[in-house]
A and B are shown apart, each in its own frame.
Chain A
Amino acid sequence: MNRDMSYEAVMGRKNEIMKKAIGIDYEVFESGSVAFDYEKMMKETGYSLDEMQQIQGSTGVGNTPLLEMKNLTKLARKLAPKGKGARIFLKDEASNPSGSFKARRASNAVYHAKRLGYKGVIAATSGNYGAAVASQAAMQGLKCIIVQECYDSKGMGQPEIIEKARKCEAYGAEVIQLTVGPELFYTFLNLLEETGYFNASLYTPFGIAGVETLGYEIAMQFREREGRDPDVVVCTNAGGGNLTGTARGLIKAGANGVQVVGASVDLSGLHMASDSQFNKKSFTTGHTGFGIPFATWPDRSDVPRSAARPLRYIDRYVTVAQGEVFYMTESLAQLEGLERGPAGNTSLAAAFSLAQELDEDKIIVAQETEYTGAGKHIQPQLSFARDNGIEIFFGNPKEEVPGKNIIFPKEPRFIKAVDIDVNKLKKSYIKNCIEKSNKKEITREDLEFLVKDTKSNIEFVKSILLENEINILG
């Protein structure tokens, strides 16, 4: 092989490699300006809801239990003002074959790869998605490589990520583990080029469409059980795919009145690509370190246009502290008899707080759980934090400093979700769109795109364009 394998050369071949590895020509959806045709991309490259249900059903994915958290609801009502305290439900996604909702994303991606004749699939992920792709690849008889960011420069690995490597290997996948850094993408591209495998990216239309069944199921299960749609659905938010897919599924079910809330663990102050800070965090996903940058610039992902566009669907975005999510994980075990992985309980911690703002007859749903086990469990993750110099104590979680301490609420009433200013994120997204496009003028089509992509209105977008001295043509 005479190909130049240097970092610059491989990154320079990115578009060519990706086109071959995903089988989508993203160019056809581009307008040549800021806008691209999102719905056309989802329609032409995704699957219909019926098809997805069939694909997922054939591998035992989906139709997970919807559980009422009766004791957590009782607890919330004891803390809330009189008449407040919505019923809290949990969608037990840990029941999927690979132990998380990511099986929905992976089933479609791997099915699609097989249909197109790829011999194997590759995914760059340190999270549950790796296990999901490996599990699906095993079911569909494809080879599988998972690339993880796992260790710091001392060779110390996040226990949660090491456990996921074990799980991927258990399904027969090859696991490549790297130290911290965004150049993981370089290794990823090298592997795609070397093997000719399919890029089972988290952010393709197939992957995101796979989550639509989750939103759809929630609506259908509530209609069957309660005769109505839930009032609020809380989605743990990192790359935005969980929220995007769930919201799209709710819309497809006609559940248009549901408020869609994103929830992330607050890791502000920690740099995600920093070698020395890598092991100072106790959550490796579902946190603001992914949630904020992916909301304000979704196209930073490993595909030219991300199908995960959370600002298109989000109604409210809240953060919770690490200590609150760990506390809620322990509460779920102690009061509801369910032992689940900590990161998946981010939305539950938020839901517990938000339930106290809602009337008793309202319904709020935390839409996921994840499996738990050695490494990926409240006990080893806290023990690891303590070994890395993080202080753990009871107090007010609002005083928690990521990378320095983990503060358990001294009483359950101290669990309080904190709002992120969504308009600020929308503003930042619009600014990013303009900066990346290098335009001084945008088209009418761009304006409409920005309105849709931020779930806002013409006046809002126009005011931001004006602030940035951008003209609208036509």
Chain B
Amino acid sequence: MKACKGDWVLIHNIVLKASERAPQVPADTKEVPLECWVKGFLQSDGEIGEEVEVKTMTGRTEKGKLIEVNPTHKHNYGKFVPELLKIGMDLKEVLYGGEAHE
């Protein structure tokens, strides 16, 4: 996918390679790099996956791999957790007792 200069994009870069990680880091974390995601305005036309330069919201310049154009927040309310239904019903039973609540 092609992205144009001026597009609002998400980029990704590696801050520290696995070999550069701090000594106090646990073993499993030491096996992976320290990665970074940041958003900004693309400084020249580019393709997804290409190394690009962006200008962030505070006006800083950052370089990294182009990940997404018009990056979208996808977090939501998750899948329904049916156990939650029981909590309110149980509590109302304890507090108001059976038919008294009707």
Binding between chains A and B: yes
Min CB–CB distance A314 → chain B (angstroms): 27
User: Is B28's CB under 8 angstroms from A276's CB?
Assistant: yes
Q: Is A249 an interface residue (CB 8 A)?
A: no
Residues of A within 8 A of B21 (CB): 181, 183
Min CB–CB distance A66 → chain B (angstroms): 23
Q: Is B29 an interface residue (CB 8 A)?
A: yes
Min CB–CB distance B98 → chain A (angstroms): 14
Residues of A within 8 A of B57 (CB): 143, 169, 172-174
Q: B89: nearest residue on chain A (CB-CB)?
A: A334
User: Is A179's CB under 8 angstroms from B35's CB?
Assistant: yes
Residues of B within 8 A of A384 (CB): 78
Residues of A within 8 A of B34 (CB): 178-179, 181, 183, 187
User: Is A75's CB under 8 angstroms from B15's CB?
Assistant: no
User: Is B35's CB under 8 angstroms from A175's CB?
Assistant: no
Q: Is B87 an interface residue (CB 8 A)?
A: yes
> Given that A177-B38, A380-B78 are contacting pairs, would A392 and B83 also be in contact in the complex, using a CB cutoff of 8 Å?
yes
Q: Is A275 an interface residue (CB 8 A)?
A: yes
Within 8 A of A (CB), among B19-70: 20-22, 24-26, 28-29, 31-39, 56-60
User: Is B35's CB under 8 angstroms from A153's CB?
Assistant: yes
Min CB–CB distance A71 → chain B (angstroms): 6
Residues of A within 8 A of B28 (CB): 274-276
Q: B15: nearest residue on chain A (CB-CB)?
A: A187
What sequence of 0s and 1s flags, for each residue 78-102 of chain B, a beta carbon within 8 Å of any chain A beta carbon? 1111011011101110110000000
What sequence of 0s and 1s flags, for each residue 254-278 of chain A, a beta carbon within 8 Å of any chain B beta carbon? 0000000000000000010111100
User: Is B77's CB under 8 angstroms from A377's CB?
Assistant: yes
Size class of the contact patch on chain B:
35 or more
Min CB–CB distance A397 → chain B (angstroms): 13
Q: Is A36 an interface residue (CB 8 A)?
A: no
> Given that A195-B60, A375-B76 are contacting pairs, would A177 and B36 also be in contact in the complex, using a CB cutoff of 8 Å?
yes
Distance, CA A78 to CA B96, complexed state (A): 11
From A173, A174, A181, A380, contact of B60 by CB (8 A) = A174
Q: Is A394 an interface residue (CB 8 A)?
A: yes
User: Is A176's CB under 8 angstroms from B73's CB?
Assistant: no
Q: Is A7 an interface residue (CB 8 A)?
A: yes
From A17-25, A49-57, A159-167, give the one contacting chain B.
A159-167
Residues of B within 8 A of A144 (CB): 58
Q: A153: nearest residue on chain B (CB-CB)?
A: B32
From B56, B77, B94, contact of A379 by CB (8 A) = B77
Q: A410: nearest residue on chain B (CB-CB)?
A: B90
Distance, CA A378 to CA B80, complexed state (A): 10
User: Is A374's CB under 8 angstroms from B76's CB?
Assistant: yes
> Given that A7-B16, A166-B73 are contacting pairs, would A379 and B80 also be in contact in the complex, using a CB cutoff of 8 Å?
yes
Residues of B within 8 A of A165 (CB): 73
User: Is A379's CB under 8 angstroms from B75's CB?
Assistant: no
Residues of A within 8 A of B80 (CB): 379, 383
Distance, CA A433 to CA B58, complexed state (A): 40
User: Is B79's CB under 8 angstroms from A378's CB?
Assistant: no
> Given that A144-B58, A174-B57, A179-B32 are contacting pairs, would A386 and B81 also be in contact in the complex, using a CB cutoff of 8 Å?
yes
Q: Is A393 an interface residue (CB 8 A)?
A: yes
User: Is A394's CB under 8 angstroms from B86's CB?
Assistant: yes
User: Is A195's CB under 8 angstroms from B58's CB?
Assistant: yes
Q: Is A458 an interface residue (CB 8 A)?
A: no
Min CB–CB distance A9 → chain B (angstroms): 12
User: Is A408's CB under 8 angstroms from B83's CB?
Assistant: yes
Min CB–CB distance A425 → chain B (angstroms): 21
Min CB–CB distance A384 → chain B (angstroms): 6
Q: Is A327 an interface residue (CB 8 A)?
A: yes
A contact residues vs B (CB 8 Å cutoff)? 7, 71, 74-75, 78, 120, 143-145, 150-151, 153, 155, 159, 162-163, 165-166, 169, 172-183, 186-187, 194-195, 271, 273-276, 327, 330-331, 333-335, 374-375, 377-384, 386-387, 392-394, 408, 411-412
Additional A-B contacts beyond A173-B57, A175-B39, A181-B22 (5; CB < 8 A): A179-B34, A183-B15, A333-B88, A335-B92, A380-B76
Query: 18 A-B residue contacts at CB 8 Å?
Result: A7-B22, A74-B95, A120-B58, A174-B56, A179-B33, A183-B34, A186-B15, A273-B24, A273-B29, A275-B29, A275-B32, A330-B87, A334-B92, A379-B80, A380-B75, A382-B81, A383-B81, A412-B90
List the 7 shortest-distance A-B pairs measured between CB atoms, nearest first. A383-B78, A334-B88, A380-B78, A375-B75, A153-B32, A174-B57, A275-B29
